[in-house]
Amino acid sequence: MISVNNRDFLFTPIADFIISSEKVAHVQVGNNAEHALLVLTKTGYSAIPVLDAKYHLKGLLSMGMITDSILGLEHIEYERLADLKVDEIMQTDLPSIKTTDRFQKGLDLLIDHTFLCVTEEDGTFAGILTRRVILKQFKKYIYSVH
Ligand code: AMP
C-alpha cells in the first residue's frame, strides 16, 4: 500500500498538465463522418474532441462510434459516411473538468477514461488531460517522497 504523507500535490491545479488545444486534433460539428474517419485514421488517436465554430466543446468522437453508425444488417454501409454529420453520432455525455479543477479530480476521472476534455469556465475548449501525463506526474511525486 502506498502511503503519501504530503497530499498538497493532489490540490495542484490541472492547468499545468493540459495538452493545449492548438496541439489537439479535433473535428467540427458540421464535418461529415468521412472527414472524421480520415482524421482519426491519419492521427492514430482512438477518439478526438468535437468543437463548434466558436471552439466550444460539443462532444467526443471515436472510430467505434463511426463504425457503429454505418452498421447495416448485412454489411458496413461505407457509402453513408459522406451524408452522416459528426454531431449525429458523437458522444455528448462527457465528464466535466475545467482548467481550474485540481489534480485529484483529474486522477479520479482518469480511472475510467484514457483522456479528458478540459474547458474554460465559459465552455471554450482548453485542451486535454491524458492518463499518461497524470501517471507520469504521479510517478514523479511518488519517487520524490519515497
Ligand atoms: P496517449 O496518452 O498519448 O496515449 O493518448 C491517449 C488518447 O488521448 C489518444 O488515443 C487520443 O484519443 C487522445 N489524445 C492524446 N493526444 C492527443 C492529441 N494531440 N490530439 C487529439 N487527441 C489526443
Q: How far is the CA of 132 from the centre of ligand 1 (A)?
A: 9
How would residue 19 be classed by pLDDT, with cut points 50, 70 and 90?
Answer: very high
- Residue 143: its pLDDT value, please? 87
> Ligand 1 in contact with 48 (CB < 6 A)?
yes
Atom of ligand 1 nearest to the CA of 132: 2
- Residue 8: its pLDDT value, please? 81
What's the CA gap between 121 and 26, in Å, rounded? 20
How would residue 144 be classed by pLDDT, with cut points 50, 70 and 90?
Answer: confident
> Ligand 1 in contact with 114 (CB < 6 A)?
yes
Bigger pLDDT: 146 vs 12: 12
Specify the residue with its C-alpha closest to ligand 1, atom 19. 24
CB atoms within 10 A of CB 26: 21
Pairing of strands 57-62, 97-98: unpaired
Specify the residue with its C-alpha closest to ligand 1, atom 18. 24
Residue pair 66/34 in contact by the 8 Å Cβ criterion: no
> Ligand 1 in contact with 103 (CB < 6 A)?
no
User: What number of residues does the chain have?
Assistant: 146
- Residue 128 forms beta bridges with which residues? 19, 117
Calculate the average pLDDT of the chain: 93
Domains of the chain: 7-145 (3.10.580.10)
* Adjacency order of strands within the sheet including 19-20: 19-20, 125-130, 115-119, 97-98
Report residue 22 as a C-alpha cell: 492548438
Q: What is the DSSP letter of 76?
A: B
In degrees and rounded to multiples of 5, residue 114 shows phi and psi of: -75, -25
> Ligand 1 in contact with 130 (CB < 6 A)?
yes
